[in-house]
Amino acid sequence: MILLAALGFYGCDNIFGTKDNSTTEEIFEEGRIDPTLEQTDGYAALTPFWGDFDAPTDVYVGFDGFVYVTDAEGVHVLDRADLSPRRTIELPGAVGVTQDRLLNVYVTARYDTVVSELPGERGEQTWNLPAIYKIKNLNGAGEITYVDTLIHPFSDNSRGTTALEQFRLDRSRPDNDELVEFTGVGVLRDNNIYVSRRGPRNNLNVIEAPDNTVLEFVQELENGEPTSKMDNSNQFQALNPGTPSLTSAINLSDITTFANPPQRDVFPENRNFLMSQGASNQNIAFRVLQVNVVETPSGTEFQPNQAFLERDTSSTSGFLYEEGKFEDPAGLAIAGDQTNYIFVIDRAQHKLYQFKPNGEEGIDPPPAAVDRTRNLIVSFGEQGNGPRQFNSPSGVAYFDEIVYVADTGNNRIARYKLTTDFE
């Protein structure tokens, strides 16, 4: 069902100032800079934040420039200036969202499906299963169309046979399929997608793929031509589902790639990805990992990014690959501009981390910095509801020098900009 939710009852003049005064067009479009933070080096809040969400789980700014937000209600579409009505699609259990270069939107959520003729005396049952929705025209360009719905375990080819697909459709099992989750989705240059999955069954001595893994979906071919339907071409079983390493996949909470907006003409051709590992009750030294996908004569290899281990402490005091750095990373983003910044949201620490593409925390020192040899650390956050505080955040996005945070416990989307980016 499609709902239209009205914007807040604030007049534009009251929020942004009038166009007749000295308020710049940039501030009118993006929001007012928090006056208490304007003179600090780091990320300044662009207020007012966007509210009226129900525990937002993810945020993404698409190639079309619209903002997509998932929460307990479903997926919302917003204009970046927040001056037009929101469009909402109800999708229970929505936790992740992205968009491909053809402007199809992918949402990881849940799907109720009736499964008949189950083995034994189980008969016909309704199951709530993880799913990925592929949606066309969510931005209003035409009639909204559900192009494809990829449902676990029937669409991800992890089992191989009908019997294997059905044997975990049994609620008496501690590893039944309702306990499996799709947690994140990232798009590749060729509009194929990666999906992060987690669940209770991770036995490496069986035919089926472990629940904790990354899936790749490609466009189905018909007469040699790609269609809009998606097919699971691979499950990355080389990623260890239970033993921490630089290529493990334990309780995956998110995934992202290097093909991100606002890039339009030049995209990285690599198929590498960044993923985050939850399982806060488990000892995992490196919870955010970059995996390089390399084609070799013997097949595809998944190689760790060893360069992140080369930590130059003369440049910064923080690193992406720093043992114990994160507690519960829940959201990832890679800037699609020349900065290639890496952003990590840590739900347990209520914090936004920012790293350079070499894994060093911070940004290049600004021209006025006293020490021009060391990065300026701009990561921030603590628990609360202030302009630089969060409450169990779980999603992050970047577009046109603005960082967006899905601040779950505060029911809002917070926005920030580096003070060094203001002219």
What integer pLDDT is reported at residue 119 of this predicted model? 73
Q: How far apart are the two ends of the chain, measured CA to CA in Å?
A: 44
What integer pLDDT is reported at residue 33 of this predicted model? 61
Strand partners for 332: 344
From the list 409, 423, 301, the residue with the least C-alpha distance to 56 is: 409
What integer pLDDT is reported at residue 59 of this predicted model? 98
**Does residue 236 contact residue 213 with C-beta atoms inside 8 Å?**
yes
What is the identity of the amino acid at 68?
Y
Give CA–CA dist 332/352, Å, rounded.
Answer: 10
From the list 124, 129, 24, 29, the residue with the least C-alpha distance to 80 is: 29
What integer pLDDT is reported at residue 309 of this predicted model? 95
What integer pLDDT is reported at residue 17 of this predicted model? 31
Pairing label, strands 145-151, 181-187: unpaired
Per-residue pLDDT of the chain (423 residues; tens, 9 = 90+): 333 333 232 233 332 233 333 433 444 455 666 555 444 679 999 999 999 999 999 999 999 999 999 999 999 999 998 767 789 999 999 999 999 999 999 999 999 999 887 776 677 889 999 999 999 999 999 999 999 999 999 998 888 888 888 889 999 999 999 999 999 999 999 999 999 999 999 999 888 899 999 999 999 989 888 899 999 999 999 999 999 999 999 999 999 999 999 877 777 889 999 999 997 889 999 999 999 999 889 888 999 999 999 999 999 999 999 999 999 999 999 999 999 999 999 999 999 999 999 999 999 988 777 788 899 999 999 999 999 999 999 999 999 999 999 999 999 999 999 988 765
Domains of the chain with CATH codes:
2-421 (2.120.10.30)
- What is the residue whose two structure tokens read 């071919």? 221
Query: What string of DSSP letters covers 231-249?
Result: EEEEE-TTSBSSS-STTB-
**Does residue 286 contact residue 276 with C-beta atoms inside 8 Å?**
no
Token pair, residue 387, equals: 């302009």
